[in-house]
Amino acid sequence: MTQSGDQPEQVHESPAVTLPAAALTAAFASLPVGMAVIGDDGRIVVMNEALEAICGVERGVPRPTRAGELAAFVDIRDADGAPLPKGQSPIEIAGDGGTLLETPMIVRVAGSAQARSMLCAVTPIGDGDSWGAALMTVRERLAVTDDRSALENSRAALRVLVADRERVQADERRRIARDLHDDLQQSLSALNMRLGMAEDALAHDPDEARRWLAESQRNVIEAAAATRRIIEDLRPQGLYHRPLVGALRDLVDAFIARTGVDCEFFAAPDVMLEPPEEVADCIYRIAQESLTNVAKHAEATLVHMRLERSATGAIQLTVVDNGNGLDVPTARLREGSYGLLGMSERARALNGEMRVTGSPGNGTTVEVAIPLVGAVGDLF
C-alpha cells in the first residue's frame, strides 16, 4: 500500500490492457466524483467531466491525454499545503500502478489562488501481481454524500469489465491456436509428406513424381487460404475508412454467405451523406453484433436491416429478425458485460439510445439512434 509519506509500491510490468472506454465513459459521466482511468502506458483512458472541472480543463482547450500532462492543469499538495515528495502525487501513483488510500490533500487549479480540500485515492486494476490500469478518484473532503456505495459499485463493475476482456482475449488465443493446428499445420504436414513421396518417385517414375507434385501444389494453395483466413480474423473489425452504407452492405452479404439466412438491407437516401466517423463506427459495430447474435441464437430465416434518419435527425439503425425471440432480461444477465450491454454502452457514449424488444417465439428487434450533433469522439 502507498500512503502519504511512503514510496509507491513496486509492481510488475505487463502489456497495456485495452479497456472498453465507451462503457467507462457512460458509467462515470453522471458521478460527481472526479474519476480517471490511467493505463500502464501512462495514457488517460477515461477522464470524466467532474475531474475536468476539478483540474480546470476548460471547454475548447485540448484535453490531457497522458497522466504526466495533468500536472500542467492542477497542483496537488498534502493536507497542510506543502509540496508532495516526488512520486507521492496521486497522478504519479496512478501512472506507476500503485495504491493510495483515500487521503486528504489540497488541490489548486494551476494559476489560481483558490485551494480546495479534497480526498484522493488510487486503485490498481489487474490480475495478481500485474496491473493494466489504475482508477484515480478525487472528491470534496467536506462534502457529505451517499456516493461511496456508487463509487464502490463502479470500481467493482470496472474490475468485471477487465476480467471479461481478459477472458475474451484468452478464448480468442485458444481459437487461433486451434485454427493454426487444424488448418495450417495439417496442410503443411501433408505438403511435407507429398514432397517426400515425389522425391522418392523422381528417379524411377517421373509421372508418379509429377502427380505427387500436383498434390503438393494443392496443399500450398490450401495453406495460403488458411493463412489468409487467420490473418483476416486477427485484423481489428471496423470500417477501415469505408463509407458506412457500403460497409453495411458488405456485412450483410458476408452474413448471408456464412449463415444462409436471408437478410434484406435498406438505406434511406438521406443517410447517403457520410456521418461522423465515430457515429459510423458505432452503428457498424452494433449492426455487426446484432447479426452475430442472430447467427448464434435466433434460428431465424429472415432479417431486415434499415438505416435511416429519425424524426429528430438522428441516424437510426433497425435490425429485425423472425427468429425464436429474445427474453431480454435473461439475455442481459447471461451475457454479462458484453453482448447487449456492450451495444447499449456504445450508443450511450455517443449520447444515443438503444432499445431491444422481443419475446420468445416472436423474433427480436434492435433499434439504435445516434444524434449527429453532440456526439462524443475519441472513445477507443
Residues 309 and 346 in one domain: yes
190 lies in some domain: yes
**8 Å CB contact between 67 and 44:** yes
Residue type at 94 in one-letter notation: A
- CA nearest neighbour of 318 among 329, 338, 330, 304: 304
**8 Å CB contact between 107 and 74:** yes
Q: What pLDDT is stored for residue 161 in this prediction?
A: 61
159 lies in some domain: no
Q: What pLDDT is stored for residue 346 in this prediction?
A: 82
Residues 27 and 139 in one domain: yes
The domain boundary, picked from 234, 254, 279, lies at 234
Residues 174 and 227 in one domain: yes
CATH, residue 355: 3.30.565.10
Q: E strands within the chain?
A: 34-39, 44-47, 74-78, 100-109, 115-127, 130-140, 262-267, 302-309, 315-321, 353-358, 364-370
CATH, residue 88: 3.30.450.20
pTM above 0.85, yes or no: no
Is the Cα dihedral 282, 288, 289, 291 positive or negative? Answer: positive
Residues 303 and 211 in one domain: no
Phi, psi of 335 (to 5 degrees): -85, -10
375 lies in some domain: no
Q: What pLDDT is stored for residue 6 in this prediction?
A: 46
97 in the Ramachandran plot: left (φ > 0), alpha (ψ -120 to 50) or beta? Answer: left
Q: What pLDDT is stored for residue 144 in this prediction?
A: 41
Q: What pLDDT is stored for residue 27 in this prediction?
A: 66
Q: What pLDDT is stored for residue 116 in this prediction?
A: 85
80 lies in some domain: yes
C-alpha distances (whole Å) from 196 to each of 188, 199, 202, 298 are 12, 5, 10, 49
Residue with the three cell numbers 522418392? 200
Residues 136 and 37 in one domain: yes
Q: What pLDDT is stored for residue 240 in this prediction?
A: 64
Instruction: For the beta carbon of residue 357, count every other beta carbon within 10 angstroms.
Output: 14
- CA nearest neighbour of 260 among 288, 300, 233: 300
Residues 356 and 302 in one domain: yes
Instruction: For the beta carbon of residue 23, count every other beta carbon within 10 angstroms.
Output: 23
Condensed to tens digits (0 to 9), the pLDDT of residues 296-354 reads 888 999 999 999 988 888 899 999 999 988 765 545 434 443 467 778 878 888 889 88
Degrees, nearest 5: CA angle 367-371-376: 110
Residues 255 and 205 in one domain: no
Phi, psi of 123 (to 5 degrees): -125, 120
Residues 212 and 328 in one domain: no
Spatial distance between the Cα atoms of 15 and 46, rounded to a whole number of angstroms: 18
Residues 66 and 35 in one domain: yes
221 lies in some domain: yes
CA 218 to centroid of chain Cα atoms: 39
Q: What pLDDT is stored for residue 263 in this prediction?
A: 96
**DSSP letter string over 270-326?**
GG-SPPPHHHHHHHHHHHHHHHHHIIIII--SEEEEEEEE-TTS-EEEEEEE-SS--
157 lies in some domain: no
Q: What pLDDT is stored for residue 174 in this prediction?
A: 77
Number of domains in the chain: 3
For the chain, 380 residues long, the average pLDDT of each consecutive 10-residue run is: 41 41 65 85 86 83 85 87 88 86 87 82 72 82 55 66 67 74 77 87 87 87 79 61 86 92 91 80 90 89 93 90 75 49 81 86 91 49
Spatial distance between the Cα atoms of 304 and 49, rounded to a whole number of angstroms: 39
Please tell me whether residue 327 adopts helix, strand or coil conformation: coil
Spatial distance between the Cα atoms of 92 and 259, rounded to a whole number of angstroms: 51
**8 Å CB contact between 305 and 319:** yes
8 lies in some domain: no
- CA nearest neighbour of 45 among 71, 27, 72, 60: 27
10 lies in some domain: no
Residues 264 and 365 in one domain: yes
Give the range of the structural domain holding residue 213, as residue numbers without chain letter.
Answer: 169-234
Q: What pLDDT is stored for residue 145 in this prediction?
A: 44
Spatial distance between the Cα atoms of 113 and 120, rounded to a whole number of angstroms: 20
Residues 279 and 357 in one domain: yes
Residues 90 and 179 in one domain: no
